Amino acid sequence: MRSNFAGWRPTLYGRTLVGSTIGIVGAGNLGRAVARMLRGFAPELLYFDPEPLSAADEALLDIRRADLSDLLERSDAVVVCAPLSAETVHLLDRNRLESIRPGALLVNVGRGSVVDESAVIELLRAGQLGGFAADVFEFEDLSRPDRPAAISAELLAMQDRTLFTPHWICRGRDSSQN
């Protein structure tokens, strides 16, 4: 029987993390957990947070503090782990996202409204962003009366450049509490 299978490339091959630069926006518990998981892949790790980590934590995580513009310009992937506050709503707006390294990946696992999803659409369309992954979305941020009603249909249609997963919060060991 003859197979039409042409091989894995390029559909299922991605980039390597080894030797890449990963920027983490928000160095709270989530940001530090992401840094710990990434360490095994030997990337250069940068972080942006108004509150610096201790020198001991920076050494333990092998991570260096950077200002946000430097982090965006240097990172091959940016992982958003920041909480939502008045200061972080659309922290990654169109102007900041335009400064991201061309082709870089943007991953939002913090809070939806930290990233301006309309700007993400424009930059994905223009080819500035290499891809966008998220498990949090602007429409979920109930504290924002001006939040979108849903995830943009255009963003959902960009399946070749996006990955969306459901956000699940573990409140304890007993899964019935979730």
For the annotated catalytic residues, the residue numbers are 111, 140, 167
Selection from 122, 128, 133, 136 nearest residue 160 by Cα: 133
Selection from 80, 102, 58, 75 nearest residue 20 by Cα: 75
| Nearest 10 degrees: Cα torsion 19, 24, 30, 33 | 20
Rounded Cα distance between 115 and 97, Å, is: 9
For 9, phi then psi, to 5°, come to -85, 150
